[in-house]
Amino acid sequence: MSSACVCHIENEACWWCELGIAQKKIDEQEKTINKSASVMAELMFAFMGKDEDFPHSFEINVFEEALLYLQEHYMGEKFNLSSFEDHLNQMNRSAHKN
């Protein structure tokens, strides 16, 4: 997507302006990823408070997938991911008991 370059009077942007436009898009995507990871962490934390002695396999699977996503993308400081790991281990142990 080219726009009028602020450096020139041409119809197309110079490489420097194109780079700036691309960087803005990358920054916006990173903010979206960080927001998604924060929301996912909040949901996982809420799920951990659920009183469930018999976790279903789909609950364990989605919790594990969410944890993998957070390990790659979560940059926040509110949650310690090791507590999510511990909870996943507990879910697995409970599922194998039953």
Q: How many CB atoms lie within 10 A of CB 21?
A: 13
pLDDT category of residue 83 using cuts at 50, 70 and 90 = very high
Distance (Å, whole) CA 48 – CA 76: 18
pLDDT band at 1 (very low <50, low <70, confident <90, very high): very low
What tens digit of pLDDT does each residue of 42-65 get? 888 888 877 667 788 888 888 999
pTM tops 0.85: no
- For residue 31, give Cα distances in angstroms to 6, 28, 47, 72, 82: 26, 5, 24, 14, 23
Would you say residue 4 has pLDDT above 60? no
